[in-house]
Amino acid sequence: MFGKKEKDTPSPASDFDKQEPVPRYDAHHYDESPEMVVCPAHTTEAKLVRKIDLHVVPFLCIMYLLAFLDRVNIANANVYGLTTELKLVGNKYNNALVIFFVPYILFEIPSNILLKKLKPRVWLSICMFGFGIVTMCQGFVKNYSGLLATRFFLGVFETGMFPGAFYLIGMWYRRHEAQKRYSFFFSSTTLAGAFGGLLAAAIGNMKGVAGYAGWRWIFILEGLLTVVVSFAFFFLLPNFPEEVKWLTEEERAFVKARLQIDQGASARERPITARDVGNVFRDPKIIVGGFMYLGLIVPAYGYAYFSPAIIQGYGYSPIQTQLHSVPPWAVAFGFSMLIAWASDKTKHRFLFTLFPISICIAGFAILLAIHDTTHRNVQYAGLFLVAMGAYTAMPVIVCWFNMNLGGHHRRSVGSAFQVGFGNIGGIIAVYAFLKKDAPRYTPGYSISVSFVCLSALSCCTYFVMCMWQNRSRNKSVRDVGLTDYEKTELGDLNPEYRYLL
């Protein structure tokens, strides 16, 4: 999938690669050094990475595509009369959106701990089955209370999808390989947006079938699809490298070794404790990472939940609205993959966050400045820029932050915190775009621009912190007398670790 550009010889070593490799951690003892483990004779490193791509990335992408589709299809359902039939006056529609985020935010860290305790394929497939059933239930609700209940439980079951998948991908790839995979996975959201618009345009015509409105069939059929796929994914979703059966013992040893040289020992076998969670939050970079993501969640969810209503405000019919919602998502996918390729090629992240963020700001500037109906195409172009910028910068930010976290316990907790804290922005986005502000949505656009700027400032802060720590460690004495176990426990706080900038 991604291996076409990779060579059969190991790629040039990063700064951290050139250092002494950290011995491989075992639950009971330390084995031979990773440098002593060579690629099995029957394969090459590039072929092995392609094998990993085929077993890891596609299934996680499909899983999250269905999760995001089930989360935001309420926007498509709304175009077909959900608020009218359920009598959602005032801000009731916004309340139904926001209640999703309450469990979604609170249970991120516990979910990642369970993911590590259980096998990932078991936990993720259970969650997938759960949110598929709940999505179907949304198609049968009779009133506002029923909608609130289903949206709440949708948040409960979806809480582990995003941080769990990012955490799992991060345990399979070296840091300079990861961005293409992260962006391709994250682009499941843009594909879900495009696919959702097309699907809703088709399903919406089922109005009256079995006595149900078209918006109900959107929930029922899309939820049923998720339930069916979840049974197959119980067997198809990947586990951690130490646990999979589709690698030979030699291949597993080599995969663990190449990751350990790049990221340090993972400590997969050791359970995560409350002390581990507390120690992670002593690092100020963790908090900054949360704000990096928070700033882009506001425009991202604002776009996902309200772009159909914004486009409909340009004078399109329900069917035309669904079809016009597809192109911005499709272009965002292509742009995201282009930036991901360039970021991995240069082994750099910082500038590849600021560039798409600038594009996102330009999109909002157009939407704030132009309201004349005669310039409808210009406003539509502004939506393209918003989608391209937000949905390209987000995977770079998450990959940059996640892949700079060393070890299972720091990456598990840190990645879950970033996603959980960032999704507070979903609550802000829901109340930033109110029905009374249609069709201009000036408050929503203004709030979104402010948060995008917050993300840019946080990225700059994180870059400076990582660069300062790299320089500080370069100047310090290299051998500080730490044991191999202590280095493993420190993860990226190990003095021998160097952050990717």
Where in the chain are the domains? Answer: 35-493
Predicted local distance difference test score (pLDDT) of residue 483? 64
- Quote the mean pLDDT of the chain: 83
Grade residue 265 by pLDDT with cuts at 50, 70 and 90: low
Cβ atoms of 236 and 229 within 8 Å: the answer is no
The larger pLDDT score, comparing residue 246 to residue 242, is at: 246
382-413 in b/e form (b: 16+ CB < 10 A) is bbbbbbbbbbbbbbbbbbbbbbbbbbbbbbbb
Predicted local distance difference test score (pLDDT) of residue 225? 94
The mean per-residue pLDDT over the stretch 116-127 comes to 88
Dihedral sign, CA of 467, 472, 475, 481? negative
Lowest-confidence pick of 91-100, 370-379, 483-492: 483-492
Cβ atoms of 78 and 215 within 8 Å: the answer is yes
Is it the case that residue 188 has pLDDT exceeding 90?
A: no
Domain 35-493 has CATH 1.20.1250.20: yes
Tracing tokens 């959702």 back to the chain, one arrives at 196
Predicted local distance difference test score (pLDDT) of residue 116? 78
Cβ atoms of 368 and 442 within 8 Å: the answer is yes
The mean per-residue pLDDT over the stretch 411-429 comes to 87
Is it the case that residue 73 has pLDDT exceeding 80?
A: yes
Predicted local distance difference test score (pLDDT) of residue 16? 35
Predicted local distance difference test score (pLDDT) of residue 27? 30
Distance in angstroms (rounded) separating the CA atoms of residues 223 and 231: 13
Predicted local distance difference test score (pLDDT) of residue 243? 81
Give the contacts of 28 (CB within 8 A, at least 6 positions apart). Answer: none
Grade residue 480 by pLDDT with cuts at 50, 70 and 90: low
Identify the bridge partners of residue 279 per DSSP, sorted by sequence position: none
Predicted local distance difference test score (pLDDT) of residue 223? 94
Grade residue 33 by pLDDT with cuts at 50, 70 and 90: very low
Distance in angstroms (rounded) separating the CA atoms of residues 180 and 203: 33
Omega into 439 within 30° of 0, i.e. cis? yes
Is it the case that residue 17 has pLDDT exceeding 50?
A: no
Cβ atoms of 164 and 115 within 8 Å: the answer is yes
Nearest partner of 208 among 219, 217, 199, judged by Cα:
217
Identify the bridge partners of residue 30 per DSSP, sorted by sequence position: 25
Cβ atoms of 189 and 67 within 8 Å: the answer is no
Is it the case that residue 246 has pLDDT exceeding 60?
A: yes
Is it the case that residue 267 has pLDDT exceeding 70?
A: no
Identify the bridge partners of residue 25 per DSSP, sorted by sequence position: 30
* pTM of the full structure: 0.77
The percent of the chain in helix, strand and coil, each rounded to the nearest 5, is 75, 0, 25
Is it the case that residue 481 has pLDDT exceeding 80?
A: no
Helix (H, G, I), strand (E, B) or coil at 310: helix
Lowest-confidence pick of 262-266, 292-296, 300-304, 440-444: 262-266
The mean per-residue pLDDT over the stretch 60-83 comes to 88
Is it the case that residue 297 has pLDDT exceeding 90?
A: yes
Predicted local distance difference test score (pLDDT) of residue 276? 74
Q: Give the Cβ contact number of residue 461 at 10 Å.
A: 16
Cβ atoms of 455 and 294 within 8 Å: the answer is yes
Nearest partner of 405 among 492, 336, 324, judged by Cα:
492
Percentage of the chain modeled with pLDDT above 70:
87
Predicted local distance difference test score (pLDDT) of residue 22? 35
Is it the case that residue 7 has pLDDT exceeding 50?
A: no
Is it the case that residue 50 has pLDDT exceeding 70?
A: yes
The mean per-residue pLDDT over the stretch 126-153 comes to 95
DSSP track, 227-279: HHHHHHHHHHS---TTT-SSS-HHHHHHHHHHHHHHH----TTSPP-HHHHHH
Is it the case that residue 25 has pLDDT exceeding 60?
A: no
Cβ atoms of 123 and 115 within 8 Å: the answer is yes
Grade residue 450 by pLDDT with cuts at 50, 70 and 90: very high
Give the contacts of 52 (CB within 8 A, at least 6 positions apart). Answer: 172, 173, 255
Nearest partner of 201 among 360, 319, 329, 344, judged by Cα:
319
Predicted local distance difference test score (pLDDT) of residue 488? 67
End-to-end distance of the chain based on CA atoms, in angstroms?
26
The mean per-residue pLDDT over the stretch 51-75 comes to 89
Amino acid present at 8 = D
List the structure tokens of 306. Answer: 């309200």
Identify the bridge partners of residue 97 per DSSP, sorted by sequence position: none
Predicted local distance difference test score (pLDDT) of residue 24? 36
List the structure tokens of 88. Answer: 């959602």
Cβ atoms of 162 and 101 within 8 Å: the answer is no
Grade residue 489 by pLDDT with cuts at 50, 70 and 90: low
Grade residue 193 by pLDDT with cuts at 50, 70 and 90: confident
